[in-house]
Structure 1
């Protein structure tokens, strides 16, 4: 298995990316290899502070970098030799099994759509967030930022995509799918939420349990939480803030520790013909290390293949 990582993407790159890759290399199974993509001279200079490059880490040279503030589509077309563009080229050509990056989120999302493309039948691929649950494990929330505005049909499909993803990622036979709303009653919420509810209810391929509220985010009521990217992003980042608040107040709690973005490190794009994970721009070595660990699980789950098979 080859796990490609954008070595130049992120506010703390390349130092944090390389350090995280070195830490991950000590924990990955023997069948895994990490491919760092970026300026070879810069990467090797950073490695000098850590000794020899581990045998399970290879470097693929990329001359350019897409910066955080650049327009995604323009940058990808104008910088074909950037680390993100080369990463997706390798993924498209099946030279690597997954591509991970903490760089320009828009470029990562657009790059996935332009290279490996959406699975046939998918209306809009989504970014999935791993939400820790009080009873242990995680729920999948879709979307957490890729699609700020969604029609009912798109939200309803998120329920099906999320169900399939959870089924094969977490080995759940009948994942519980819920719609995030402002009340549990069927008639509650915006016009979009009200129109989405019956579409989810009528889909016999999923185990729809109805609406949940914001207070239910962490309480193990659902395995898949359906929402638009605007609401999902706000909820997800508010959840992540619990760790920083607790840390500032000197509070130590095992569950709150799981809300720290470093605990998972990355979020997969669900609905494309391949494996892609997006990390926070401020990713630390620990976040990168954990993202690579989850990337390994993602490839092993073959979730995107199961989704494609189910939709076809």
Structure 2
């Protein structure tokens, strides 16, 4: 397995990305994963020496350009073909790496994933998901969290299937409960989208659908997989991030609230494209990068993308 990493993406690049690589290599010595680093070769080499990072499983691919956090994604990818993100996707598309990670420009990562990689046959739209800590000590999955602001019922139904497969094989939830985020629990509640989605989920034999869930159910154990459009999901995700920020100021010793630290979960996988792509937060530090590598590793070892394909195209 070979995991590609954009070392130039994020507010603390490239140092924190490389510290994350070091952390991963020190903690997971027996996994045999190769890591390909994309970015400023001289800067990478200097940090490798300064941080005493083992190089036996590392390859460096020199790039000369960086896509900034606020650049227009499509324009930047088209004009900066020697950027660390563009090169990372080129390697992934050609099979030179098996997964790609970045904490850089989120839009560029999503555009790169959509236009450089094949979408799994049968996927209506790729989706991004995020981990939500549950009060019972477990974790839940919410999707979409921003890629598809406007959706159709058929797409939410497919998101539910993708989320259930990911939760089963990567989060190791044996029979994940799937809930539709809505403004009420009763069937028939909600807007046109949720009203149209409910009967599709109810008939979906690929999932364990438990019905509608409300906002107050997001952090309890009512549902393991929570389905919504990207507009709603992104608001919930940013709310969860704000809860963590507030908790560090008001209740720093809260075991539960500390689990809202995004670094624990690494990054957000793009589900529906042919290879693992992990998008990290722009303020990711070493722990987040290390855990993003672990997410990519788990996705590859469980062969979850083929399982997603089988679920979308049942034999």
Band of TM-score, shorter chain: over 0.9
| 2:237 match | 236
| 1:211 match | 212
Work out the CA distance in 1 between the residues paired with 2:53 and 2:297: 23
| 1:36 match | 37
| 1:107 match | 108
| 1:10 match | 10
Q: How far is the alpha carbon of 1:33 from its aligned partner?
A: 2.0
Q: CA RMSD in A?
A: 1.4
| 2:171 match | 170
Work out the CA distance in 1 between the residues paired with 2:292 and 2:58: 16
* Contact preservation (8 Å) 2:37, 2:58: yes
1:10-89 mapped onto 2 (5 Å cutoff)? 10-28=10-28, 29-51=30-52, 53-89=54-90
* Contact preservation (8 Å) 1:9, 1:104: yes
| 1:154 match | 155
Work out the CA distance in 2 between the residues paired with 1:52 and 1:158: 39
Assess, with a 3 A threshold, how the Cα gap between structure 1 residues 52 and 100 changes in structure 2: closer, same or farther.
closer
Per-residue deviation, residues 245-267 of structure 1 (Å, max 9, x unmatched): 11112431222111111111201
Work out the CA distance in 2 between the residues paired with 1:173 and 1:261: 24
Could you list the runs of 5+ residues in structure 2 that have no partner in the other structure? none
* Contact preservation (8 Å) 1:3, 1:33: yes
Q: TM-score, normalised by structure 1?
A: 0.96
Q: TM-score, normalised by structure 2?
A: 0.95
* Contact preservation (8 Å) 2:73, 2:107: yes
Q: How far is the alpha carbon of 1:287 from its aligned partner?
A: 1.5
Work out the CA distance in 2 between the residues paired with 1:280 and 1:201: 34
| 1:279 match | 280
Q: How far is the alpha carbon of 1:86 from its aligned partner?
A: 1.1
Work out the CA distance in 2 between the residues paired with 1:58 and 1:204: 44
Per-residue deviation, residues 183-233 of structure 1 (Å, max 9, x unmatched): 111121111111111111111221110011111111111121101111111
Per-residue deviation, residues 274-312 of structure 1 (Å, max 9, x unmatched): 101000011112211222222221221211111112323
Aligned residues: 312
| 1:199 match | 200
| 1:311 match | 312
| 1:264 match | 265
Q: How far is the alpha carbon of 1:47 from its aligned partner?
A: 2.4
